[in-house]
A and B are shown apart, each in its own frame.
Chain A
Amino acid sequence: MGVELISRGKVLCAKLSGDIDHHGAKELRRDIDIAIEENCPSELILDFSAVTFMDSSGIGLVMGRYKLMNERGGTVTVAKTPAYIGKVMRVSGVGKLARIVNDYTLPREDEQEVMKIETTNQ
């Protein structure tokens, strides 16, 4: 169980892994919320591709982050949900709070630098 956080521009991506249950959710919530405070993203992507198990604690995790992002005028995207946890998502109606996507692309790390170089050359 863990989370890898990647911040690119206005997008914060949280790659979750392992089992998401009540036991582990507290730590995940704390780590994601700290990253939201620090990076002030306008979009939070929750990537579930490496999640091996999830119960309704994972739904609580999505709902709580939606509340926080909504207060800040941002959105939540749920991405790459494996089939066996997709059912938990459907039962909970999380689709009303978050955009659900199969895949996503993050803004490139060097995008701003590239733009700067182009401007200098002209």
Chain B
Amino acid sequence: MKRPINDMKVVFPSLSENERFARIAVSGIVSLADPKIDELADIKTAVSEAVTNSIVHGYPETVGKIELTVRLYEDSTVYIKVSDKGCGIEDVQKAMQPLFTTRPDEDRAGLGFAVMESFMDKIKVTSKVGKGTTVVMHKRITPRERK
């Protein structure tokens, strides 16, 4: 069983101001692994996408709670879970297709999941209509050579 060096759970209201908070929170933990600039940018971007999805689609008319879990393991793998108790996704596969969006009027590109998939090593989305959505992502940080 892998042991996490750090294990953080934060819960925050689904306000768009907190997209930035989520990025700062995840950076705090991931920075411990001394990531390269682009690796940290990848993780921040993926978290930003997942949290934005919860805010825009999970709680379209209300403000609900979003839970962000970040674990950093000894082998420099990062585990991230973003979950909401919002309205859920009817067809996850369809929602994950690039350019699919239910909000074209808001200039949403429909690329959230495509970005998460290409920026992280692994992603799993589970959702139930009326119950909420959970996104779990993994990424390995390249260990730097110690001098």
Instruction: Say yes or no: A92 contacts B52, CB within 8 Å.
Output: no
Which residues of chain A come closer than 8 Å to B45, judged between CB atoms? 53-55, 88
Q: Does A21 contact B (CB under 8 A)?
A: yes
- Set B17, B41, B109, B119: member contacting A60, Cβ < 8 A: B109
A14 to chain B, nearest CB (A): 15
Instruction: Say yes or no: B115 contacts A21, CB within 8 Å.
Output: no
**A23 and B16 in contact (CB under 8 A), knowing A53-B44, A85-B41, A88-B45?**
yes
Instruction: Say yes or no: A84 contacts B55, CB within 8 Å.
Output: no
What number of A-B contacts does a CB cutoff of 8 Å give? 73
B-side interface residues, number (CB < 8 Å)? 26
Residue of A nearest to B111 (CB): A56
Classify the interface of chain A: helix, strand, loop or mixed: helix
Instruction: Say yes or no: A92 contacts B41, CB within 8 Å.
Output: no
A31 to chain B, nearest CB (A): 14
Q: Does A43 contact B (CB under 8 A)?
A: no
Q: Does A22 contact B (CB under 8 A)?
A: yes
A79 to chain B, nearest CB (A): 19
A41 to B19, CA, bound (A): 33
Q: Does A57 contact B (CB under 8 A)?
A: yes
Instruction: Say yes or no: B38 contacts A21, CB within 8 Å.
Output: no
Residue of B nearest to A18 (CB): B20
Which residues of chain A come closer than 8 Å to B111, judged between CB atoms? 56, 59, 91-92
What would be 12 A-B contacts, judged by CB atoms less than 8 Å apart? A23-B20, A29-B107, A53-B41, A53-B44, A54-B45, A57-B109, A83-B38, A84-B41, A87-B119, A88-B45, A88-B115, A92-B111
Chain B interface residues (CB < 8 Å from chain A): 16-17, 19-20, 23, 37-38, 41-42, 44-45, 48-49, 52, 55-56, 106-109, 111-112, 114-115, 118-119
Chain A interface residues (CB < 8 Å from chain B): 19, 21-23, 25, 29, 53-57, 59-61, 63-64, 83-85, 87-88, 91-92
Closest 10 CB pairs of A and B: A23-B16, A64-B107, A84-B41, A60-B107, A56-B111, A60-B109, A55-B48, A59-B109, A22-B52, A21-B19
